Each structure stands twice: as structure tokens, then as C-alpha cells.
Amino acid sequence: MRMKTRSLLLLAAFGLVLVGWLIFAWGNTDPPSWPVLVADLVAVVGLAVGPWLVLVGRQLVRARDPAAPVYSRVVVVTVALALGGPLGAAVLVLGIGYIRPEMILLVVLPVMAATLVGLVGAGILPWLFLGARTLTRERAARARAEERAAVAAHLHDSVLQALTLILKQADDPPAVRRLARGTERELRAWLYGTPAAAAADLPGAVRSHAEEVEDMFDMTVELVTVGTCPLDQRAQAVVAATREALVNAAKHSGVHRVSVFVEASDGDVFALIRDRGQGFDPTTVPPDRRGIADSIEGRIRRYGGNASVRSSGTGTEVELRMPR
């Protein structure tokens, strides 16, 4: 019959209580005969250590863990120590016909060593290994999720936007070729980590994207930048979110002029993108339209910043703030 985990834990706790009781009885009562003492010692230690070995073995077998063979060897060593000492003492007693005092060590020391090996080698260390491996897997999964979100946001900003424009301008082959070439250059630069020389700092990167949006949508971007900072990951997130806000304004506001203000101070980076177009109701945005949620708000929040989008019938404002 297969014992449940709770029953095994209760059995192990009971065994630890019996170990304490055995230690107390050793110093406060008359010792029993050696066969009885050996039997009690082996039974109590087995009761205290055995359930932990069963629990760890189940976990390793269930997970098909590569540490299972090592665990099996530790169990074999534990059993050999626990049984070898008493059996060796019994053989000596049968051979010489009487019990000598030093034979106590042949019983007590192997059993104590088996207890230590069992608890540490097959009880504590495997649980620590399993916990560390679980934590590592969770961190790796979180890193993969963040990487996927970053890739999805970039593809939305570049490839998907270009495909949308190509569909709209399918009857204009030169415009389609221009969009395809520009998107290819941008995607290659992003994949191989070769940013444009003009994007060496925050103002240069914002200016480069503003010029790109002007060429792509035939609109005017009134850009004002104050201060500068290196183009690290947080600054790149602000630049990418600013570009997405400009693209949204160009596509949906109905106006041909958008103002952008970017300030880099010692404490944070601030950006404000504003248009005086027709605006929109954020609650009516379809769930499959992820430009604001992923490419603006999600991107800024992943790096510890704040993003807010305010829109009405007189225009739209996108405010970004990222700590340095």
C-alpha cells in the first residue's frame, strides 16, 4: 500500500521524537541487553530516516531526475552501514562466545554514520538540489517571457507596421519598395546588433526615428530635446515607445503635425508626444490591437517606468517617464 506524503511526514516526525527519547533513556535509565539495544537503535533510526528517503525517491523518480542514480548509491551506502555494523558485531560475538565492551562501537558508530549519510546525502541535499533547480527554471522561464515580449513589441513596431502600409499603398510600387528596403535594413540592424551611427545617444535616436516617421507618413514632427544620456536599455525603451506613439498619431489622429518633447535629467527620462487630432476612446480598442498595451505601456513598465495615454476629442497625449 502506497503511503501518502502527509503520513510519511508524520512517521518521520514520530521517528525523530523516538530518537530524542532514546537519547534521554540512555542517560537516565539502566541500559537493556545489547541485542535489545541494537534492535531499538536500528528501528528508531530507520523510522526517523526512512520516510525522508521514500519522499525524496518518489520526487526524483517522478521528475526522472539525473540525480536519481546518485541517490540510489547513497541509499545503498546508508543501508550497508546501518546493517553492517550490527551484523559484524553479531558475527564476532558468535565467534568468540562473549561480548566485549569495544564491540559497542561496532554497532553505534555505523548506525550513527548511516543516519548522517541518509539525512544529509539522501534527505537534505536532494531537496536543496530540487529547490535550486526549480528556482533556476522559473528564472529562465521569466527571462524567456520577457525576451518574447521584447521581440513581439519590436516586430509590431517594424515589420507589422510596414506590412500594414504596404497593403494600403499596394498600387504605388515605388512606395512599397521603399518601405520594404527600410524595414529590411532596420530588422537586420536589430537582429545583428548594429544600430545606426545617428543613434549613439538619446536625442540622436529620437531624432532618427522622428525623421523616419516623417518620411514614412509624410508628416511633420516638431521635436524638442533637453539634455542627453547614453542609449542604454531603458533609454532604448523610451525611444521605441516614442516611435510607436508617433506612428499611432500618424495613422489615426488625422493631422499632419505632431509635437514631441524629450528631457533627460539626472533622475529620469521624460517624453511627451502630443497631437491635436480626433482622439479615441481607450476602452473601445479591440483586444487584438496591442500597440499601446505592449509597445508603449508594457515596454516602459518592463524596465520600471510609467506610461500613460490620455485622449479626447481634441487630441491625444502619451506621457513616458523612465528612471535612470
pLDDT, tens only, 130-169:
677 778 888 888 888 888 887 777 777 777 777 887 788 7
Evaluate whether 303 touches 232 at the Cβ level (below 8 Å).
no
Average pLDDT, the chain: 76
pLDDT of residue 186: 73
Which of 119-123, 141-145, 187-191 has the highest mean predicted lDDT (pLDDT)? 141-145
pLDDT of residue 197: 45
Residues 6+ apart with CB under 8 A from 136: none
pLDDT of residue 125: 65
Evaluate whether 316 touches 175 at the Cβ level (below 8 Å).
no
User: What would the mean pLDDT of 211-238 be, rounded to a whole number?
Assistant: 88
Percent of the chain with pLDDT over 70: 58
Residue 105 pLDDT class (50, 70, 90 cuts): low
Task: Output DSSP code: residue 294.
Answer: I
Sheet containing 315-323: which strands, arranged edge to edge? 220-226, 257-264, 268-275, 315-323, 306-312
Residue 320: beta bridge partners?
A: 271, 307
- Positive or negative, the Cα torsion across 201, 204, 210, 215? negative
pLDDT of residue 167: 81
Cα distances (angstroms) measured from residue 218 to each of 215, 251, 273, 277: 5, 11, 17, 16
Which of 33-42, 100-109, 122-131, 305-314 has the highest mean predicted lDDT (pLDDT)? 305-314
SS3 of residue 58 by DSSP: helix
- Positive or negative, the Cα torsion across 81, 84, 90, 95? negative
Please check the confidence at residue 219 and state whether its pLDDT lies above 90: no
Question: 142, exposed or middle or buried, with CB in 10 Å at 0-12, 13-18, 19+?
Answer: exposed
Is CATH 3.30.565.10 what the domain over 198-323 is classified as, yes or no?
yes
- Measure the CA–CA gap between 224 and 207, rounded to whole angstroms: 9
**Domain definitions of the chain by residue range:** 5-141, 198-323
- Measure the CA–CA gap between 149 and 272, rounded to whole angstroms: 24
pLDDT, tens only, 244-286:
999 999 888 888 889 999 999 999 999 999 999 988 877 777 7
Nearest of 187, 291, 279 to residue 241 by alpha carbon:
291
E strands in 211-280 = 220-226, 257-264, 268-275
pLDDT of residue 165: 79
pLDDT of residue 316: 93
Helix (H) or strand (E) holding 51: helix 34-63
pLDDT of residue 260: 96
pLDDT of residue 208: 87
pTM: predicted TM-score of the whole model, two decimal places: 0.47
pLDDT of residue 45: 66
pLDDT, tens only, 4-37:
767 766 776 776 677 677 677 766 777 666 556 6
Placement of cell 519598395 in the chain: 177
Residues 6+ apart with CB under 8 A from 318: 241, 245, 271, 272, 273, 274, 296, 307, 308, 309, 310
Backbone dihedral region of 153: left (phi > 0), alpha (psi from -120 to 50 degrees) or beta? Answer: alpha
- Measure the CA–CA gap between 52 and 163, rounded to whole angstroms: 60
Higher pLDDT, 1 or 57: 57
